[in-house]
Amino acid sequence: MRATILSCLLRRQGASRHGGATVVVALTLLACLPATVQAAAPPMSRPEIIARAESALGTAYTWGRESWNPDAGGGSGPDCSGFVLKCWEVPNTLLYQEEHGVNATISPRYTTYSFYNNLGPWGPISDRASLLPGDALVYNNGSAGHVVLYAEGDGWNYPVVYEAPYTGATVRRASRYLSSVYQPRRRYGLTDSSILLDNPTAVSVGGTDVAGNWTRSTSNPGYYGHNYQVRAATTATAWARWTPRLPASGYYNIYVRYTDGWNRASNARITVTTPTASATRYLDQRGGGGSWLKLGRYYLAGGYSPKKGSVTIYATGANGYVVADAVLFAPTN
Amino acid sequence: MNGTAPTPRPRSRLGPRSRAHRILQIGPFLLVGAILTLTPFLPQQAEAGGVGQSEEQVVVMPTALPEASDGSTVISLSWGEAPGEVGLNAPDGGERRGPESFAVASDGRIVILDSVNRRLVTVESPSSPTGTIPLQLRSPRFLAATTEQIHVLDADDDHCLQTFAWDGRLLADRDIHEEEGPVTALLLDSDGSPMIELAHDRTVAVGTPGEIHGLSAATPSSRGRPAGKGRDRWVTANIAGDGGARVEQRDDQRGLERSWSVEPSGRARVDHVVSLDSDPDGRVILGVRLRDVPGERRDTPGSLLLTRLDDQGGSLVLAESLYAYLGAPYAIGGDGRVYAPLAETAGYRIVVHSFPEVTR
């Protein structure tokens, strides 16, 4: 049952017009639950959190409610803390799969006060620079509060969040200025720390991280997210680069995804940059599209820097169209 | 050269001038470390070029921030729903709400998005009465204003861009179908026509009223934000490297004109770019929020840093509002000054700040 519902959610995410540009996929953490934890959080992946958030888009903010019907395409939705609780499947709330579509509430329950003061199975993050998709940002001043789910940072690293904002509005994915009162929080029991960067990230990183006129397209199937980027062969400078914000130094398996076609390059140059070296190989994009192609296992440094860990694909010197779609960085033991 | 000054980093693009010439030009303000306190972002012009060539500057962040600007109040409104007031709502749950946006026209008039009361509040001048324009939109968040028109965008629920005259007449009502977002700003081009920015990356011109405007991948767009008057000039900003940022200015005909590389210094790091604007003289203003320093609380004001990226190198620190519901923390007025909203027990204020004159 659970698997069925999750796969349903993930399908919805794939079909959504709000599909996340950055998604962090599944597998580690589970350790170090502090003594303040009220109840253990079940293992959960970041994609599942994001998929749940996507399934709530368009539902109407309803104070005191923590459920929504992901198949209704609207209707009554959760309030802000109910939204995050359900996306996180926090114990002591009604189970998501048992409740969706039912106008049920539970009282007392976790609120923004609980999020802010770490009174549940979550904890603080040292700073916002460490935020990953599926984390939360919360404030509570004793009389009012709000909590949002972090989706990604754009090319400005400006936060894009999922939130149930207020009465009269619907759950949305929006770019929001969040002042210093918002503190970052992370759910315990997350099962993965891989990072997936879709092509909008490569585009939005702009000046320093893309060169040449890449356009977006949906012509060929098999792309990840909304679309992919494409650039005709050229002798001019033209490249796109994915730079992850890595939580820690270590070895990562790196995968690339593209859409193939007869007019694609058979010699698309792609380079992995590590703190100590660069490795180059050539992709034949006339076949093999629509799946994750492993580039190799590399040691990358934590943080965010093209010099510490990045992947760059070039249209320069190619013999056909070059596609830049998505790159996955999966930590290895 | 002074040993404490940041090292100029020549980026030899096409500049015909010598680096020594440039160092002589900027030498006086590289001499004293104290100047860093007055001008947190100190531009260092590396090399320059003529027509068709680009110019690059390295801007080094300070190790210590100057005091936040106090500014001066231009308008103060009480909380409430009567004329001349703006609403504040502290619900049982959900986000507290107050005015979520405001805009300043080039003649100094101010329009405030009074979200709670579902209306616009117009302020002709600090001493004159205010006006109100009712709104039917559910979730308007973005505003832009010229001396003739006020544009209001609801990108979240009603997907609509409405245009009003300052006297309240509805001039246009456009459906906006966001297919790829999120919307990050409502901007004006050099003619005062509205443009919608997506993901702080590309800008889409909004066309004729009556059409349905799709913001899809196929919609013609421009990279960056419009800058300057009478020319097709665009600026972009991006996070670059570890705690830095990069700004580029392009012209449709001439390509890349200028660029600025903002580099970290000490423990100061850019967390994210807050805004990228230009003043009436076409000078680019970069606003950043500084990254939290582990072990130090950042819930005190003072982490918003604005830098005018011109040869003067003027910088300004703003007290970051503790109220996220006020929307973007500042806006650049038509007079080139910086307007910032404040929420207090008594009511809502807009404070104006000016870039300090840089003493060389």
The residues in A 249-278 lying below 8 A from B, measured between CB atoms, are none
**Least confident residue range of A92-101, B119-128, B130-139:** A92-101
pLDDT at B200: 86
Which tops the pLDDT comparison, B60 or A225? Answer: B60
Q: Predicted confidence band at B241 (pLDDT cuts at 50, 70, 90)?
A: low
3-class secondary-structure state, position A192: coil
- Find the closest chain B residue to A158 by CA distance: B272
- pLDDT at B179 exceeding the cut of 90: no
Residue B135 · residue B99 · CB < 8 Å: no
**Least confident residue range of A17-21, B131-135, B332-336:** A17-21
Residue A199 · residue A238 · CB < 8 Å: no
Which tops the pLDDT comparison, A21 or B110? Answer: B110
pLDDT at A195: 78
pLDDT at B70: 86
Contact between B223 and A182 using a beta-carbon 8 Å cutoff:
no
Instruction: Flag whether residue B217 sits within 8 Å of chain A, measured between CB atoms.
Output: yes
Residue B119 · residue B134 · CB < 8 Å: yes
Question: Phi-psi category of B283—alpha, beta or left, where left has phi over 0 and alpha has psi -120 to 50?
Answer: beta
Which candidate, B271, B191, B171, B173, places its Cα nearest to that of B231?
B191
Which candidate, B284, B275, B345, places its Cα nearest to that of B57?
B284
List, in order of start, the domains of chain B with CATH numbers.
Answer: 1-72+227-326+335-360 (no CATH), 99-223 (2.120.10.30)
Average pLDDT over residues B170-199: 84
Whole-Å CA distances, A67 to A46, A96, A161: 19, 7, 19
Total residue length of chain A: 333
pLDDT at A224: 74
Q: Predicted confidence band at B50 (pLDDT cuts at 50, 70, 90)?
A: very low
The shortest CB-CB distance from B294 to any of A63, A127, A156 is to A127
List, in order of start, the domains of chain A with CATH numbers.
Answer: 2-22+42-187 (3.90.1720), 195-331 (2.60.120.260)
**Least confident residue range of B135-139, B160-164, B200-204, B354-358:** B354-358
Which candidate, A284, A280, A205, A213, places its Cα nearest to that of A242?
A205
Whole-Å CA distances, B240 to A155, A209, B108: 9, 8, 35
Which candidate, B149, B138, B206, places its Cα nearest to that of B176?
B206
Q: What angle do CA B353, B358, B360 make, to 5 degrees?
A: 175
Contact between A306 and B292 using a beta-carbon 8 Å cutoff:
no
Instruction: Flag whether residue A107 sits within 8 Å of chain B, measured between CB atoms.
Output: no
Average pLDDT over residues B152-174: 92
pLDDT at B298: 45
Contact between A206 and B91 using a beta-carbon 8 Å cutoff:
no
Instruction: Flag whether residue A154 sits within 8 Å of chain B, measured between CB atoms.
Output: yes
- pLDDT at B360 exceeding the cut of 50: no
Average pLDDT, 10 consecutive residues per value, chain A (333 residues): 29 30 33 38 77 86 80 81 87 46 52 89 83 90 88 83 90 88 89 72 50 82 78 92 82 88 94 93 88 86 83 95 89 71
Distance from CA of B32 to the nearest CA of A (A): 31
pLDDT at B339: 94
**Least confident residue range of A30-39, B256-265, B294-303:** A30-39
Token pair belonging to B216: 């899809």
User: Which run of H or E residues covers position B207?
Assistant: none
- pLDDT at B35 exceeding the cut of 50: no
Distance CA B51, CA A209 (A): 25
3-class secondary-structure state, position B22: helix
Which tops the pLDDT comparison, B45 or B350? Answer: B350
Residues of chain B contacting A200 with CB distance shorter than 8 Å: 180, 199, 201
The shortest CB-CB distance from A156 to any of B237, B292, B300 is to B237
User: Dihedral of the CA atoms B30, B31, B35, B37 (nearest 10)?
Assistant: 90
pLDDT at A26: 32
Distance CA A207, CA A265 (A): 24
Total residue length of chain B: 360
Q: In B324-350, which positions are buried (b, 16+ CB within 10 angstroms) versus exposed (e)?
A: bbbbbbbbbbbebbbbbbbbeeebbbb
> CB-based burial of residue A187 (10 Å sphere; 0-12 exposed, 13-18 middle, 19+ buried)?
buried
Distance CA A149, CA A128 (A): 13
Average pLDDT over residues B74-96: 84
Which tops the pLDDT comparison, B50 or A233? Answer: A233
Token pair belonging to B254: 């001439």
Instruction: Flag whether residue A121 sits within 8 Å of chain B, measured between CB atoms.
Output: no
Residue A153 · residue A200 · CB < 8 Å: no
Taking all residues of chain B, what is their mean pLDDT, rounded to a whole number?
75
Distance from CA of A289 to the nearest CA of B (A): 21
Which tops the pLDDT comparison, B55 or B21? Answer: B55
- pLDDT at B12 exceeding the cut of 50: no
Question: Within chain A, what is the greatest distance between any pair of CA atoms?
Answer: 65
Q: Predicted confidence band at B219 (pLDDT cuts at 50, 70, 90)?
A: low
pLDDT at A28: 30
- pLDDT at B9 exceeding the cut of 50: no
pLDDT at A272: 96
pLDDT at B41: 44
Which tops the pLDDT comparison, B50 or A305? Answer: A305
- DSSP strand pairing (B315-318 vs B331-332): unpaired
pLDDT at B242: 65
Contact between B180 and A203 using a beta-carbon 8 Å cutoff:
no
**Least confident residue range of A146-155, B36-45, B219-228, B340-349:** B36-45
pLDDT at A103: 43
Contact between B238 and A81 using a beta-carbon 8 Å cutoff:
no
**Least confident residue range of B183-192, B288-297, B319-328:** B288-297
pTM over 0.90: no
Distance CA B355, CA B314 (A): 6
pLDDT at A40: 62
Q: What percent of chain B has pLDDT over 70?
A: 70
